[in-house]
Structure 1
């Protein structure tokens, strides 16, 4: 299978979209398929042995945004893909889908970023409706749109997008593992984060408006805790002001073994943002054996079984957020039970497993495309 991946985000930018795309490429390489990547300027020239073609981009909130470019059609035509994978399509992804359709190549779009949620959060009024219309226009061009959660499915059905199916995300079950907490590096980090035996409430992700990390202020005055934040982003000054005077350790952006050690040093994982279409870091926290607290909104609804492997708090209710975190802080046995349940919940979500499902969707649209072509070649008299 020859797969062209058009991604709105790619290395060196770290995001959920980038992580997902890299894992898919790793699995394509492992299983013997061929691929190429089209991504915003600044990406490396290759990944996993596959060529990476870049297009001009502009910077928006520290993210490069790929701009439509005539080169996209030429790159796709030269590669002759069997299928196009549009990762979180926006401007670049929309062009990729359109180019694929022009070339007769089927496309799979992966809905991963709540574009319209940005307009709503920033009180842009009529712009919210325009954003949803743009989302519908982009995804109507694809042969199949894969959504990560029941909430996303509901949103896209509401605006009239057809041809939808569910595709979850994988998680690295080896790197994020409860046994990691017994490593020497984790013990050293624990001494830094909790010098007096505090319960560490951690977060991993962008420090950006949609993540609402400033809501950690709801934990102010909660005894016996320390807060550890992994990540960076444009909201760092705002969050720093909101959490001034609280026991916060800023760990910055981490990856690889350092990120796994950070998860292993936490006791509770808290995600406060209400706009997650999925919530990859929640899965990683569960894989590490942590109880997770997140809002009853968007992707977390599918990832957390309330009262079993974590808690879902009422969105925008800081008192409810604090109440659930406090319950875990004061009950070590509850933390352990929920952490073990979280680990069990993700055991069937290895990247190998979920990519196998994705490749099945690729084959589905390829087969449908071939059937449609064959149908057009049959003379009308024979079809009667």
Structure 2
């Protein structure tokens, strides 16, 4: 199928790395792996940091103008997609382009990853919230990335048009990274990866530091931290009491080997949608100590590939850390199980098959709707 793609929250070529950008690229890669022809319709970004109805109306007008530009360019080139697919929309990043183009061409409209916060129905984000709801109501299929988001979407998307797409990654580089075993004399090697910026990321670093502070002094571990950002000095100060190495930003191609040289991936995952890095770490053979947040339990098997604790609970997070740092053999067993877990459930091939099935469902839903409209 010919698929037109857009990502209103962050274009695929955005210079700032993020899990959102990575997942968008993975979706395109998986679609192409499944044999589909993907065209990036536009790199228009509707996301705004601040709200206000007038500001959002200006974005809407610009988006609709972009939709007209795209349609004109396609007409001139003789191009017509079979499906329009939008990745990641919500009140701060509504999609006006996809519904407009899909309606004009009479083709199915699909949304992958959408979140909905009813508290935004009023206030400065009300216009964006309504626009996101309108797009979701128009969609022939909406795929959430985890069960928690799916539940939030049931108020606006009928069950027959709502699904969950299990997160996946291009796992081969991680699965094939040779493990570097820990010597008996070595401390347990912890790894954390996260941007150092205000908000949820900094909150995760604060909780990690608090949990490490609670560990018994007799436990031997080292911590490697990968990430950079405007809050780096604060993060360094938070963790200064512990044996930590700050590596700053690390190129993506270096992450598999780095993961494979550690024993535990530790991340509190405050407000994390699901955390692509949890998939990467498990594929490289690391056990997980993480927060039981949104979609994290969908990809980390608690008790088998890692230990999860309630989001924001530093004491519970510390207990999970203590369990695995004090039992490195159990951590190693969990790391081995994690690689099997990824290989069986979260590879690019798995994602390609799932996306293919979702597109077929969207086509069926579109056909049923068209038939019903004619009766």
Give the conservation status (yes or no) of the 8 Å contact 1:106–1:365.
yes
Equivalent residue for 2:2? 2
Equivalent residue for 1:217? 209
Task: Number of aligned residue pairs: give it.
Answer: 345
Q: Distance in 2 between matches of 1:236 and 1:347?
A: 34
Give the conservation status (yes or no) of the 8 Å contact 1:201–1:270.
yes
Q: Distance in 1 between matches of 2:93 and 2:149?
A: 21
Give the conservation status (yes or no) of the 8 Å contact 2:116–2:149.
no
Give 1:173's match in structure 2, choosing from 171, 174, 198: 171
Task: State the structure with bigger RCO (CA 8 A, min sep 6), 1 or 2.
Answer: 2
Alignment of 1:24-35 (within 5 A): 24-35=27-38
C-alpha change, 1:238 and 1:73, in structure 2 (3 Å) is farther
Give the conservation status (yes or no) of the 8 Å contact 1:97–1:141.
no
TM-score, L = length of structure 1: 0.78
Report whether the alignment pairs 1:310 with 2:306.
yes
TM-score, L = length of structure 2: 0.80
Equivalent residue for 1:356? 353
Equivalent residue for 1:380? none
Q: Distance in 1 between matches of 2:140 and 2:153?
A: 15
Give the drift of 1:93.
5.2
Alignment of 1:315-326 (within 5 A): 315-326=311-322
Alignment of 1:212-251 (within 5 A): 212-218=204-210, 219-220=212-213, 222=215, 223-251=219-247
Report whether the alignment pairs 1:110 with 2:112.
yes
Give the conservation status (yes or no) of the 8 Å contact 1:178–1:289.
no
Q: Distance in 1 between matches of 2:128 and 2:46?
A: 20
Equivalent residue for 1:340? 336
Alignment of 1:137-156 (within 5 A): 137-156=134-153
Give the conservation status (yes or no) of the 8 Å contact 1:295–1:312.
yes
Question: What is the alpha-carbon root mean square deviation over aligned residues?
Answer: 3.4
Equivalent residue for 1:85? 85
Give the conservation status (yes or no) of the 8 Å contact 1:171–1:287.
no
C-alpha change, 1:27 and 1:148, in structure 2 (3 Å) is closer
What SS does the corresponding residue of 1:180 show, helix, strand or coil? coil
What SS does the corresponding residue of 1:359 show, helix, strand or coil? helix
Between 1:327-336 and 1:235-244, the stretch displaced more is 235-244
Give the drift of 1:213.
2.1
Give the drift of 1:94.
0.9
Q: Distance in 2 between matches of 1:354 and 1:32?
A: 13
Give the drift of 1:329.
0.9
What SS does the corresponding residue of 1:176 show, helix, strand or coil? helix
Give the conservation status (yes or no) of the 8 Å contact 2:194–2:227.
yes
